[in-house]
Structure 1
Amino acid sequence: MNYKEIATEEDIKELMEEFCYFHDSCIKEMNYVSGCYVDVNRAMQPINVNRTVEIIFQSQMSDCRTIQVQFDKIKKLNLEPRDEEYDAIIYGASLIKVNMTFYWSEWENLKTEDINSSRGTWIAAERIRWKKLNDSDIY
């Protein structure tokens, strides 16, 4: 399945409704690609040209159990995983666009003034795409 680009408020609404506003969901796994690397001759490509985070989310509520969300050109990733004493359930998430940056937060009702002080896991990125995954797509 192809990725669906998020560009407008309608695109945001489509993702949030499709995945039940992330109610009763969780982060299954996360992958970060910087774009920086050392080649076989040990020469450094020192610039983070990608800055991409891919997250696989799963939901108990959504008709689609699993989605993959790709955050490109991330500006900030604030990861606060809960330890074994607490559940890792996302009870509702937020996705907003401020100027040219998207903000996804594991907390509902994220407001512009709370963006950089928000607790929990949240991501700021220039571009977001998502797609549904079948059970056979999950590794």
Structure 2
Amino acid sequence: MNWREVKDHTGIKNLLDTFDGFHDSCLKELYMWNESYVDEHLSMSMSTDLDTNVRILFQRQFHHPSAIEMLFEGVIQCHIIPAPINYDCIISEATVIKHEGLFYWVDDTDWKPEDAAYRSASWISSKALKWRDVSSWMGKQNRYGVINQD
């Protein structure tokens, strides 16, 4: 499961062609982290770098690949809208855009970065983007952590 770094339009086209523009897919899981923490002595450590990262698992109803994981490094913004009650969460189509040095994944192919405040879409922007085939990660099982039912 090697990571493929997206650097330019060719890398974006390869990702979108490989995953058929996210047609009939779903965002299964999302995991976000940064370098901030509180140690055992209750001292807080904070980074001043752009250190937020997000991993997203997408699954779809087709083979080769059936699931991919995307890694967004140096996240600028994350705007994910869950499906409302009585609606499904199927992604009909999504795209990846590179604009002014940032990568954007968005579930609306008509969306532009300038529309971010005005359009209702799920999207994420970051300084760097990687992806990999994780087709063995199909099914209901959570991959980013166990949900404690206590």
TM-score when scaled to structure 2? 0.85
- Number of aligned residues: 139
Match of 1:70 in 2: 71
Counterpart Cα distance in 2 of 1:15 and 1:134: 15
Match of 1:130 in 2: 131
- Kept in 2, the 8 Å contact 1:23–1:61? The answer is no
Counterpart Cα distance in 1 of 2:111 and 2:121: 12
Q: 1:67-116: per-residue Cα shift (whole Å, max 9, x none)?
A: 00001111100011012310100000011001111111011233343244
- Kept in 2, the 8 Å contact 1:69–1:131? The answer is yes
- Seq. identity, %: 30
More helix by share: 1
Q: 1:10-66: per-residue Cα shift (whole Å, max 9, x none)?
A: 000000000000000000000000211111221101236420010000011352111
1:1-139 → structure 2 map (5 Å cutoff): 1-47=1-47, 49=49, 50-135=51-136, 139=143
Code of the residue aligned with 1:88 in structure 2: it is: C
Code of the residue aligned with 2:44 in structure 1: it is: M
- Kept in 2, the 8 Å contact 1:102–1:125? The answer is yes
- Kept in 2, the 8 Å contact 1:19–1:62? The answer is no
Structure 1 spans left out of the alignment, 5+ residues: none
Counterpart Cα distance in 2 of 1:51 and 1:59: 26
Identify which range, 100-109 or 87-96, moves more after superposition: 100-109
Structure 2 spans left out of the alignment, 5+ residues: 144-150
Code of the residue aligned with 1:59 in structure 2: it is: R
Code of the residue aligned with 1:80 in structure 2: it is: I
RMSD of aligned Cα (Å): 1.8
